[in-house]
Amino acid sequence: MHKLLLSGLILLLPFCSLAQRMRTTETESGMIEKGNKIGVWEYYAHTRDGRQVTVQRYDHTTGKLLFYRPIEEIMYDVEMQPGQWTRSNVDQPPLFIGGDPALAAFTTKLTYPEVAQQRNIQGKVIIAITIDTLGHASGHKIVTHVGGGCDEEAMRVCRKIPDQWIPARKGSRAVAVVYELPFTFRLQMPGTAAQ
């Protein structure tokens, strides 16, 4: 009976390895099962001197943030009580799962508007979004305009960013905050690589 069970397990091993596999890239590392991230994943970024550092450790199975690399302290508009917003620091900022490199995969998918190119319009469109206590984004609003179709393009891309946010925390509780997201439009100079 034990030999039969053992040989059955040996036959299943190749199928188990197909169901779960390790994925490692320059910006993330973890297990994938049936196309979904499972277990603890590490997310990386690079410092200015080129060192790779861990910016987040997130358990996709439990939906829990285990570690994040602190960033500079930023003031946010925070909903302290329902409908009562106050400018304040938070103990944990709102975070996009995977950190800035994962967020950049979306924010850099801009199509430079033809009108902006013709008029040599460049700059940074800033869109404010509310990240609620469940990590959902809503209330998209342009706070810094550039014009030439750039504002609309930034809004189009911003609305396509998936709800993969970890809510901000003040003390032990999640709080809703207004998060400002920049979208940079920079024209390529002749003879230079795209930015």
Asked whether the predicted pLDDT for residue 9 surpasses 90, the reply is no
Phi first, then psi: what are they for 139, rounded to 5°? 65, 35
What rounded mean pLDDT belongs to the chain? 89
Tokens of 143: 């706070």
Q: Is the dihedral of CA 135, 138, 140, 141 positive or negative?
A: negative
- List the one residue out of 106, 89, 100, 111 whose CA is nearest residue 168: 89
Range scoring the smallest mean pLDDT among 11-15, 140-144, 171-175: 11-15
Mean pLDDT of 112-139: 97
The pLDDT value recorded for residue 177 is 98
- In this structure, whether the domain defined by 73-195 belongs to CATH 3.30.1150 is answered with yes
Judged against a pLDDT cut of 60, whether residue 5 lies above it is answered with: no
Domain ranges of the chain: 22-69, 73-195
Give the pLDDT confidence of 92-104 residue by residue, as tens digits.
999 999 999 999 9
pLDDT at 20: 87
Please give the average per-residue pLDDT across 126-154, as a whole number: 97
Candidates 189, 181, 49; CA nearest to 103 is 181
129 and 181 Cβ atoms separated by less than 8 Å:
yes
Contacts of 20 (CB under 8 A, 6+ apart): 31, 32, 33, 38
Give the pLDDT of residue 73. 86
